[in-house]
Amino acid sequence: MRSLAHPALHDITLAGILHALSDETRVAIFAGIAGSACAQRCAAYATVSEKPVPKSTLSQHFKALREAGLIRSERQGVAMHNTSRCAEIETRFPGLIPAIIGAYLAEAESR
């Protein structure tokens, strides 16, 4: 089985983070993972904003988040468990993730 690539902290870029979070489904997934105290399974996001997300599309969203350095994914049996890298990113880009999550939540609240 192929191992998953996770960028080192010094390889995470602002442009990469902003690109990954430019998609409304990905930012919703990331906000859910970042707001959780425990690892989240990919299947928990089969429906985002009341819209079903096909498994293949969901895989691509998680790959984009992982390659941007926003999440860490770990296989456990047949399930993939995802955790945020917010604490790591905070050391590289202080205040960025709380600002993005805050803006996302404010926007979602106004809908």
- Kindly report, residue by residue over 20-31, the tens digit of the pLDDT: 999 999 999 999
- Kindly report, residue by residue over 57-90, the tens digit of the pLDDT: 999 999 999 999 999 999 988 889 999 999 999 9
The count of residues in the chain is 111
Helix, strand, coil shares of the chain, percent, nearest 5, are 55, 15, 30
Q: How far is CA 42 from the centre of its chain?
A: 10
Domain 12-106 is found in CATH 3.40.50.2300? no
76: its two tokens: 């456990």
User: How many angstroms separate the CA atoms of 82 and 101, rounded?
Assistant: 17
Q: Give the closest residue to 65 by CA, choosing from 108, 4, 10, 106.
A: 4
